[in-house]
Chains A and B, each alone.
Chain A
């Protein structure tokens, strides 16, 4: 059984006089330990799908099955328990956290809310989480706004893995980072996936990044699935017009010497 399966997923927004379907009958599934990428131009519905999957937005139609349960009908403690298994990392962690909160506080919250560690045990858990994402424990007392963008993204990942999730939704999580920092964050994500068997719903408009990390790829256009399949196969031989446009637009280095 798939870890996550959505079908008929639809979300409409009012615009001007009428409505637009930001997401229009989308279906896909993610297996445990797998990375599924969502790619597509701006406005194609990627972030809306992320919010629907995370239940930050209610769909107008469609089903969301997560770990065998109908995610939409869950409520109360059952929903809270499932939420711990489904985490998120967004492009701008500064927007996701209170910038004045300390790193320790940001990591303490999920451990406390989900009852994962006792008060006395938590500082040790926080240090271990920081170490797991390649940060020193000395970062714990620093405020979120005092650390760099890449460090913040590591803290966001540490927070996401604090509750031992089976799936993390990453919405343009590496898009704002310098290439070298981006490389290290991607390495960290691959390493976490290999050791903890976490699945990723990896949203990006950058096919180069997608090709480097994703097993499978869904290309969206105007809220619909334009094509999907093995990530390298789709990028190597796109069938849809939007897939071809995305591939054609990716900047190429054309190095004549082997890297």
Chain B
């Protein structure tokens, strides 16, 4: 396997309330070409920051150190990128800073509410993905001379599909525009390409769907459209940041199998970001576990699930409530 990109000693901090809030602390990892890599962690662990840094989407206020080196053919020189027209509000607010409850059976000391000094406040830790007017200044952290372009080389799927779709444009046209911008197609070609993509993401009645506006689609359908737009230019790397977290379990499973199929068909590399370790394990070949902005461990899915090295990973596994878990409460009639 060869690396698609190498991240070396990546450090990102955001400025909030006049202080510097670290979001990533010296992260190094390689993403292999063609692999499905999951990044998992809880609120404030820095996983979205990593995704945004790789995609070149970090906000102006972010301070960045370290390097991201790409081994993609046909990259363009810097400053030629086109920022996306709409940027979502990236502000995970899950989780809890601190509190204490003694002796509970679900809990473990390694995760969650421990009030750890190193904890990055989920209220401020990952909030800075947004800038005024949706314009984003690209951070020149790619040390090589060539940088990948979002949309062409990298496809990005966000948690909330509405945030990346234009509410007043038919979805077919939105997907066609991506193809037009990056593939040098004529408009009829781009439009035909968009329809093929809607078929590939299994939207019902692609002809009618081409003319639909986002508000006329369900959450799962909107996410299918967002995925179609993300892969429209044939990117090498697909980043899905909590792309199924807002969906119900059934739709989530459908979107996960859609992503798996598209990644396989197009030979894409997948970076799948999730707070759900079981979901990550179903999709990814390797899993990287993040906490408080640090990469705790990285291994094959089997390794992470069956022989975690870090106690925190074990705690995350134990906190999973599966359908095969032992009883967590006394069975039988209520008291």
Residue pair B219, A181 in contact (C-beta under 8 Å): no
Residue pair B250, A178 in contact (C-beta under 8 Å): no
CA distance A183 to B247 in the complex (A): 21
The contact string, 1 if C-beta is below 8 Å from chain B, for chain A 225-250, is 00000001001000000000111111
Chain A residues near B333 (CB-CB < 8 A) = 215
Chain A: minimal CB distance from B47 (Å): 12
Identify which of A176, A215, A251 contacts B334 (C-beta below 8 A). A215
A76 on the interface (CB 8 Å rule)?
no
Chain B residues near A151 (CB-CB < 8 A) = 96-99
Chain A: minimal CB distance from B129 (Å): 18
Whether A259 touches B318, Cβ cut-off 8 Å, given contacts A135-B99, A187-B104, A253-B305, is yes
A72 on the interface (CB 8 Å rule)?
no
A27 on the interface (CB 8 Å rule)?
no
Interface-forming stretch among B69-77, B105-113, B182-190? B105-113
Interface-forming stretch among A6-14, A34-42, A56-64, A106-114? A34-42
A67 on the interface (CB 8 Å rule)?
no
Identify which of A180, A256, A259 contacts B113 (C-beta below 8 A). A180
Residue pair A255, B99 in contact (C-beta under 8 Å): no
Whether A183 touches B322, Cβ cut-off 8 Å, given contacts A42-B219, A149-B96, A215-B334, is no
Chain B: minimal CB distance from A247 (Å): 7
The contact string, 1 if C-beta is below 8 Å from chain A, for chain B 98-125, is 1111001111101111000000011100
Residue pair A31, B99 in contact (C-beta under 8 Å): no
The contact string, 1 if C-beta is below 8 Å from chain B, for chain A 135-161, is 110000000001111110110000000
The contact string, 1 if C-beta is below 8 Å from chain B, for chain A 113-124, is 000000000000
Residue pair B334, A31 in contact (C-beta under 8 Å): yes
Chain B residues near A197 (CB-CB < 8 A) = 335
CA distance A197 to B335 in the complex (A): 7
Interface-forming stretch among B48-56, B199-207, B260-268, B323-331? B323-331
B94 on the interface (CB 8 Å rule)?
yes
B114 (CB) vs chain A CBs: closest residue: A180
Residue pair B323, A180 in contact (C-beta under 8 Å): no
Residue pair A148, B98 in contact (C-beta under 8 Å): yes
Identify which of B248, B319, B322 contacts A252 (C-beta below 8 A). B322
Chain A residues near B43 (CB-CB < 8 A) = 149, 178
A257 on the interface (CB 8 Å rule)?
yes
B249 on the interface (CB 8 Å rule)?
yes
Whether A180 touches B42, Cβ cut-off 8 Å, given contacts A34-B334, A148-B95, is yes
B108 (CB) vs chain A CBs: closest residue: A180
Among A188-224, those with CB < 8 Å from B are 188, 190-191, 193-194, 197, 199, 205-209, 211-213, 215
Count of chain A residues near B, Cβ 8 A: 63
Residue pair A41, B113 in contact (C-beta under 8 Å): no
Residue pair B97, A148 in contact (C-beta under 8 Å): yes
Identify which of B251, B279, B317, B334 contacts A42 (C-beta below 8 A). B251
Tell me how many residue pairs across A and B have CB atoms closer than 8 Å.
Answer: 187
Residue pair A149, B323 in contact (C-beta under 8 Å): no
Residue pair B328, A257 in contact (C-beta under 8 Å): no
Count of chain B residues near A, Cβ 8 A: 59
Residue pair A253, B250 in contact (C-beta under 8 Å): no
B238 on the interface (CB 8 Å rule)?
no
A236 (CB) vs chain B CBs: closest residue: B323
CA distance A149 to B315 in the complex (A): 20
A184 on the interface (CB 8 Å rule)?
yes
A177 on the interface (CB 8 Å rule)?
yes
CA distance A109 to B229 in the complex (A): 48
Among B244-293, those with CB < 8 Å from A are 247-253, 275-279, 281-282
Chain B: minimal CB distance from A32 (Å): 8
CA distance A253 to B305 in the complex (A): 7
CA distance A37 to B32 in the complex (A): 43
Residue pair B278, A211 in contact (C-beta under 8 Å): no
A232 (CB) vs chain B CBs: closest residue: B331
Residue pair B277, A150 in contact (C-beta under 8 Å): no
Whether A194 touches B335, Cβ cut-off 8 Å, given contacts A149-B96, A183-B112, is yes
CA distance A180 to B282 in the complex (A): 20
Residue pair A211, B253 in contact (C-beta under 8 Å): no
Chain B: minimal CB distance from A146 (Å): 8
Chain B residues near A148 (CB-CB < 8 A) = 95-99, 121-123
B276 (CB) vs chain A CBs: closest residue: A251
B93 on the interface (CB 8 Å rule)?
yes
Chain B residues near A42 (CB-CB < 8 A) = 218-219, 247-248, 251
A–B pairs, 12, beta carbons within 8 Å: A149-B95, A178-B94, A178-B112, A180-B110, A184-B113, A193-B335, A208-B320, A208-B322, A212-B325, A215-B333, A247-B323, A257-B306
Supplied contacts A249-B252, A250-B249, 14 more A-B pairs, CB within 8 Å: A41-B248, A148-B99, A148-B122, A151-B96, A151-B97, A151-B99, A179-B276, A184-B101, A205-B249, A250-B322, A252-B322, A255-B305, A255-B317, A256-B306
Give the top 4 A-B pairs by smallest Cβ distance, nearest first. A150-B96, A183-B106, A180-B112, A134-B101
Q: What residues of chain B have their CB less than 8 Å away from a CB belonging to chain A?
A: 42-43, 93-101, 104-108, 110-113, 121-123, 218-219, 247-253, 275-279, 281-282, 305-307, 315-325, 328-329, 331, 333-335
